[in-house]
Structure 1
């Protein structure tokens, strides 16, 4: 086998290996990042928030109970609670957090529990239906540290 042939063969094998390794990433990207949500089965705003995530490319699994138990188990402080709790990429998402902020969190990967939008501010995703007639109250998305403290991650005014 000539040296030139060996070099070409090695390059082709390397390219094939890269393509094979890239397939799972391409498959995952085309099917969205998985999010698991726990919510009250009767909550319409939670359902609207899930629809917001799905429109933004997330693949969402919904559990119709367990929000309070899951929030506590995952270490999200009760004072930062809302009507639904989710997990994505190892982070806890509490309340009506916009999809773009979740994507930013997953890209930046800070050392944190996750994100929270405490309460249910009108104008946040899921709390923006026609019943609110376009009203948008100011609110903050908080980055929650592992010690339970928080700081503003993104403000909406």
Structure 2
């Protein structure tokens, strides 16, 4: 490509526009509010929140509550999918130890009929439940008006 001195301002302008567009996309992903509800006595919830913050480059607000069952019921989490904490982000419910990459995929793809994701129970090796080298395979379940399906599986 043969660029003359006159094309340098155009090239700089295009580069600046590209950088602004990339920054806007990055800020849009970070603009979502991540609010995790948890029992104050549970420590793994804070570890999971740290995983999400690192994986999604986002800040997770932690709200302690005395009645997680009532909160989960009000948020529409099916009882057989319950875990120790519940997070709201951008209109979705994230229940339990869902990996950050699954949350990112949900926010990116926005599948129809999905109200949220859940990892029932507290499987060893899931984010926030790391115990040495112990790992239990688990599924991330998508749930909502469209029914349920396996959204992702982890070894």
TM-score (norm 2): 0.78
Which residue number in structure 1 is paired with residue 94 of structure 2? 93
Deviations 1:51-108 (A, max 9, x none): 1111121211110114322211111111100000001110000000000000000000
Q: From the superposition, tell whether residues 76 and 23 of structure 1 become closer, same or farther in structure 2 (CA, over 3 Å).
A: same
Q: CA deviation at 1:146?
A: 1.8
State yes or no: 1:138 paired with 2:137: yes
Unaligned runs of 5+ in 1: 1-14
Which residue number in structure 2 is paired with residue 153 of structure 1? 151
Q: CA RMSD, aligned part only? A: 2.5
Q: CA deviation at 1:115?
A: 0.1
Which residue number in structure 2 is paired with residue 62 of structure 1? 62
CA distance in 2, matches of 1:121, 1:26: 34
Q: CA deviation at 1:150?
A: 1.4
Q: CA deviation at 1:25?
A: 3.6
For 2:46, what is the secondary structure of its paired residue? helix
CA distance in 2, matches of 1:145, 1:34: 21
Q: CA deviation at 1:113?
A: 1.1
Runs of 4+ in 1 over 4 A off after TM superposition: 21-24, 29-32
Unaligned runs of 5+ in 2: 1-13
Give 1:27-46 correspondences, 5 Å limit: 28-29=27-28, 31=30, 33-46=32-45
CA distance in 2, matches of 1:30, 1:86: 16
CA distance in 2, matches of 1:92, 1:30: 17
TM-score (norm 1): 0.77
